[in-house]
Structure 1
C-alpha cells in the first residue's frame, strides 16, 4: 500500500513538471522575435565594419525578426563599406538602416550603406548623399579619377535597382555629390520610410513585404517585437577610439615623449614602460587607417634630431628642425578620404610644439648640468676657504690640519717652500691630492 502511494506521488510530480515545461515552451513560442539594434555613429573603418558583421551574425543566431542599424556617419573607407554591404546582402535576417536621430547624416560611404539595406529609413532633420569617392585625400589625374568614379557607380548600381530605389538620383549623389534631406529622399524614392523614432518605424513596417537581395519576398513581422541593444565590445570601443587619427597621434607622441624621458633620465623605468604601451596602442589604431608612408620618414627624421639635440650643443637649432619635421609628419601621416579621417592642423601643431618644447628643455637642463661646477666629492672644495687648526710637527713633510665645511682635513701648502700658515688663519683650497688639500697660504677675508 505504501509503495502504491509513493508511485502515485511520483507520477503526479512528473505530470506537474511536464505541464510547467509545456507552459514555458508555449510562452516562449508566443513571444515575438526580437529586433536587434546596432549603432554606427562613427566613421566607416575596419573596426565599425567588424562590429556590423558580428551583429548580423548574432541576429541570425538569435533568429531575430530584423536588424535595426542606427546610422550617423560622415563616411569612411570604401574597402570597409564593401565589407558591410556584402554582409547586408548575405544576411538571412532583414536589415533596416535608419539614419537617426535628428541631425545625423549618412554622408559619403554612409549613403552606400543606406541604399544597400533591405529597408532604408530616415528620421526628420537628417540628410544623406554627397557620396563622390575621394581616394586618400589626394588629387588624382583625370583618368584614374574617372576609373574610381565608374567603379563606385557600378558598385552602387549593383544593388540599388534590386532594392527598387531611384537609380538616377542615387547616381547623382556619387557623380555630382548631391545630398538629400529626409523629405527629398522619400519623395525621390531613395528610401522606403520616414519615422520620428524606432518604435514608430517598426510599427510602420509591420506587415510590409520587402524584396531581399536574392530575389525572394519576405514579410516583416515587427508588431510588439522587443528592441534588443547590441553594443560594441570593449575591444571594439577601444580600437574605435584609437581609429580616430587625432587621438592616435596624440597617444603616439605622448608615448614617444615618455620613452625619450626614459633615455634622458635612465633608471626610472615607469616612463619607459608606460611610453612603450602607449606607442603600441597608437600603432594598433594607426594600423586601421590609411597611412602615408612618406610621413614615416619625416617622423624618423624628427626623432633623430631630438636625440642629437640631447647629445650635442646646437642652441635649439636641432630641436626646432625636429619640431617642424614632427608637425609635417603628423599632419600627413593619416591620409583618409574624409576630414574626419585625417589629422587636424591644430592637433599636429600642439603635439609637435609640445614635444619640441619639452625636448629643448631637457637638452638645456643637460647642457647646464654639464657646464656647472662640481658640487660633490673632494673636487667640490676647490676654491673654498678653510681655517687652519694645528700643525703636524711630528711628520717629515710639513703639514697641518684645516677645518672646511664642518670637516677636518689634512692639508699642505700649494706652493713648494711656502711658509706654513698660523693656526686660526684663513686659507683657500687650490687643489686636491687624494685625501690632502693643497691650500694657498695667502690670507683671505673670511672662511666659507
Structure 2
C-alpha cells in the first residue's frame, strides 16, 4: 500500500572502531549544541510546545463499481487509519454502484471506525449512484464537488419484473410520490421485500447522521438523483467543496461524533496521506471480474480434461487445477446463480464427453447450448460492471464449437479408417506358409490341414481346407484364439502389385 515516500534507514553494517568513536563524538557535540540553542532561545521553545501536532488526514480514492476488491481496500484502509491515529479519513468516491454485499461490508467498517470518515464525491463529473448513495449516507461527513451527483439507489436484481411495470406517477404538491411502481401488485413479493429492506436501511443511516431521510427513501423507491447544489439544499450532504484542500479548510474546527466519542478536527494544515490500492487489491479486482472468473473456470475444466486424457503431461493438470480453484474463489465472492453455474459445468462436461463418445457432435453442441445458457444466468445481479457481456459468451461458445467440430471430424475419419491393430486387423491380412511339413498333415479332428505361417511378422498356427506348400501366400479368413483360418491368396496378375 503506497503511503508516502519511504524513509531512509541507516545501514546496520559495522564500521571500524575509530570511525564509530568519531561518529559518537560528533553526535554528542551536536546534541550539546542543540540543547544550548534551546536554552538560549526560550521564545522558540515556547512556540514549539504551544502548537499541538495535527493528526494526518488519510485520503482513500475509490472509483469504479463497488465490489469485493473495493470493500477489501476500504476496510483495510480504515483499519490502517485507525492504527496510525489519523484524525480523518476521506473516501474520494466516484462509482456507478455495485454489489449489495460489498456495500454493506463497507458501511459496517465506516460505522465501526474510531476515525471520522468523510465521503467526498469528486472530482467534477463524478457520481455516487446506487451503492455509492448508501455509503455517502453512512459516512460521518458527506461532501460533494460541483458538477457531481448522487442518487438512483434502487436495488436491481436479474429476474425482477420491470418490463411490464407501469411508469411512475409524478409527485404531488408536497413532493411525495403519489404511487410508486415498485409497490404495485404487478411486481413480485420478493422484489417488494428487497425494496422495503433497502428503503429501511438507508432511512436508518439518514436518521443516524441527521440527514434527509425522506429523500433517501425516494432515492430507493423512485430512483431519483440530485446535483451537488440540490443535495446541499435538501440536507442530503453537509457541504460542497471544490477539491480536497478546500474540503479540509471547511472542515477545520468541526466536531464529529464517532463510535469512540467526539473528535474535533484540525484539518486546515494537516498532512494528507493518500492510500493507493496495493497488489492484493489489484489481484482481487482482476479475479472477481465475472469475465475473468468465467474464463478461469473454462481453462480449469479443459486443463483437467487434457491431463486425464494424457496422464503424465502434468502442465495441463497443474494449470487447470489452479485456474479452477481461483475461479471458484472468485465466484464465492460474487452473487451467482447456482443454476447457471451448474449449466456451465454440465456444458463443459458434455464438451469433454464428446471427445470420448461416438456421438458425432450431439453431446458437443448440447454442451455449447448449456454453457451459453449458464453464462447468461451466472451473475445474479444487474449491478453496473458485474454482468457477463454477450460478446464474451459468444467468443467462448465459438471456441467450444470449433473444438466440437475438430473432435467430431477426427472421430468420423477414424471410423471410416480400416482397422490396423488388434485381432480384427488380422482378418483379410496376408501371410506366408513357413512350415510345409506340418502344413501337409491333418489336425486331430481330421477336418483341416494344420500348419504354421508368418502373418504381420508374427508366427501363427494356421489351418486350411487343403494342403499348402511352403512359401505359399495365404489370406486370413478368421481367427479362433491362437489359430488362424487361411486360404490360398489370389496370385496378382503379371506386372501388377501384390494386394
Please report the TM-score for the alignment, with normalisation by the length of structure 2.
0.70
In the TM superposition, 1:303-382 aligns within 5 A as 303-369=348-414, 371-373=416-418
1:54 aligns with 2:54: no
- What CA distance in whole angstroms lies between the structure 1 residues aligned with 2:476 and 2:58? 86
Match of 2:88 in 1: 66
Deviation at 1:442, TM superposition (A): 0.9
Aligned residues of 1:413 and 1:440 also touching (Cα < 8 A): no
Match of 2:200 in 1: 154
Pair 235,370 (structure 1): closer, same or farther in 2 beyond 3 Å? farther
CA deviation digits over 1:184-206, x for unaligned, max 9? 3334332233344433433x435
Match of 2:443 in 1: none
Match of 1:290 in 2: 335
CA deviation digits over 1:225-268, x for unaligned, max 9? 33323233433322222222222112111221222233334432
- What CA distance in whole angstroms lies between the structure 1 residues aligned with 2:407 and 2:353? 12
Aligned residues of 1:69 and 1:96 also touching (Cα < 8 A): yes
CA deviation digits over 1:336-389, x for unaligned, max 9? 252432323332333233234324423543453455345689998998999x9x
- What CA distance in whole angstroms lies between the structure 2 residues aligned with 1:102 and 1:413? 97
- What CA distance in whole angstroms lies between the structure 2 residues aligned with 1:393 and 1:384? 19
Aligned residues of 1:414 and 1:440 also touching (Cα < 8 A): no
Pair 419,111 (structure 1): closer, same or farther in 2 beyond 3 Å? same
In the TM superposition, 1:186-205 aligns within 5 A as 186-202=232-248, 204-205=249-250
Deviation at 1:155, TM superposition (A): 2.0
1:107 aligns with 2:132: no
**Which of 60, 67, 71 does residue 38 from structure 1 map onto?**
60
1:250 aligns with 2:288: no
Q: Secondary structure at the match of 1:83?
A: helix
1:299 aligns with 2:341: no
- What CA distance in whole angstroms lies between the structure 2 residues aligned with 1:121 and 1:76? 20
Aligned residues of 2:360 and 2:412 also touching (Cα < 8 A): no
1:267 aligns with 2:312: yes
Pair 20,47 (structure 1): closer, same or farther in 2 beyond 3 Å? farther
> Is there any run of 5+ residues in structure 2 with no aligned partner, and where?
1-22, 39-44, 162-185, 441-450
Q: Secondary structure at the match of 1:340?
A: coil
State the number of aligned residues.
427
Moved more, 233-242 or 371-380: 371-380
Match of 1:4 in 2: none
1:80 aligns with 2:102: yes
Pair 418,143 (structure 1): closer, same or farther in 2 beyond 3 Å? closer
Deviation at 1:30, TM superposition (A): 7.5
- What CA distance in whole angstroms lies between the structure 2 residues aligned with 1:215 and 1:418? 108
- What CA distance in whole angstroms lies between the structure 2 residues aligned with 1:199 and 1:440? 101
Deviation at 1:311, TM superposition (A): 2.8
- What CA distance in whole angstroms lies between the structure 2 residues aligned with 1:153 and 1:355? 44
Please report the TM-score for the alignment, with normalisation by the length of structure 1.
0.77
Q: Secondary structure at the match of 1:70?
A: strand
1:122 aligns with 2:123: no
Aligned residues of 2:439 and 2:467 also touching (Cα < 8 A): no
> Is there any run of 5+ residues in structure 1 with no aligned partner, and where?
1-8
- What CA distance in whole angstroms lies between the structure 2 residues aligned with 1:19 and 1:117? 49
Aligned residues of 2:115 and 2:258 also touching (Cα < 8 A): no
Match of 2:175 in 1: none
Aligned residues of 1:77 and 1:337 also touching (Cα < 8 A): no
CA deviation digits over 1:72-92, x for unaligned, max 9? 222223333233223222322
Moved more, 147-156 or 270-279: 147-156
Match of 1:5 in 2: none
